[in-house]
Homo-oligomer: A and B are copies of this chain.
């Protein structure tokens, strides 16, 4: 595919003009028993001990979360702990997204080989900001091809982006074959907002999932994101969110 920058910028402008704030808060809340199944139970702190990772897995099985989301070094351990009952999700090019495409692809390939079923990659924010859309697209596409079986979520790091950039990034993710667009790493200056989740949902319509992550600490935080259009939630506070 040949990404033409002008076309994407025009599309973004039109979508932004049409996007209505009323879209926010318009979706239904999930049934009580379905919320846990929307949560990626997350532990990405660099100093997480192996004991903490094991505990995360135990909780994920107990509460039936969608996945555990851990750093790549813990993938094999989690896959073993979870025995196919719960998916292992890991991160690619995390949290800066500024490493080489070949390395992101190698990381995805290794993770999938080790049994990770979901991959949360960070797109290259600097290239997006420099309007190198073709390179942003190729970067995502390379990870898609390197981990063809995995659920691929692409983190936009929305706190660093304009609304137009969020739209363009979402379009590029869809074109490159991502399964989800995701708001945030949780390691930058801000997390998910209802406005950004709503905008991403508006842009990808029902073609892709939307994952809200970063700063989701309470049940009310979680439900706000779902009402705004999120179909997956990243949180380290999963247990308290579902009232466990």
B-binding residues in A (CB < 8 A): 44-51, 71-75, 94-103, 106-107, 110-111, 122, 124-127, 129-130, 132, 157, 160, 187-188
Q: How far is A116 from B45 in the complex, measured between Cα atoms in Å?
A: 28
Give every chain B residue within 8 A of A71 (Cβ-Cβ). 96, 98-99, 126
Cβ of A129: which chain B residues have Cβ within 8 Å of it? 47, 49
Residues on B with C-beta less than 8 A from A72 are: 98-100, 103
Please report the C-alpha to C-alpha distance between residue A160 and residue B46 in the assembled complex, in whole angstroms. Answer: 9
**A73 pairs with B95, CB closer than 8 A:** no
A100 to B111, CA, bound (A): 9
B130 x A51 contact (CB < 8 A): yes
Closest to A109 in B: B103
Q: Which residues of B contact A107 (CB under 8 A)?
A: 99-100, 103
Q: Which residues of B contact A187 (CB under 8 A)?
A: 187
Give the number of copies in the complex: 2
Output the nearest chain B residue to A51 by Cβ-Cβ distance. B130
Residue from the set A50, A73, A107 with the largest chain B CB neighbour count within 10 Å: A73
Check if B157 sits within 8 Å of A126, measured CB to CB. Answer: no
Q: Point out the residues of chain B lying under 8 angstroms from A101, CB to CB.
A: 73
A190 smallest CB distance to B (angstroms):
13
Contacts A99-B71, A102-B110, A106-B106 hold; do A125 and B47 have CB atoms under 8 A apart?
Answer: yes
Q: Are B125 and A46 within 8 A (Cβ)?
A: yes
Contact B126 A48 (CB under 8 A): yes
Residue pairs across A and B with Cβ atoms less than 8 A apart, 27 shown, are A46-B95, A46-B122, A46-B126, A47-B126, A47-B157, A47-B160, A49-B126, A49-B130, A50-B126, A50-B127, A71-B98, A71-B126, A72-B98, A72-B100, A72-B103, A73-B99, A73-B100, A73-B101, A73-B127, A74-B98, A95-B95, A95-B96, A99-B107, A100-B111, A102-B106, A103-B107, A106-B106
* Known interface pairs A73-B124, A73-B127; A188-B96 also in contact (CB < 8 Å): no
Which residues on B sit within 8 Å (CB–CB) of A132? 50
9 new A-B contacts at CB < 8 Å, known A46-B98, A46-B157: A46-B95, A49-B129, A51-B130, A71-B98, A71-B126, A72-B98, A73-B124, A94-B96, A102-B106
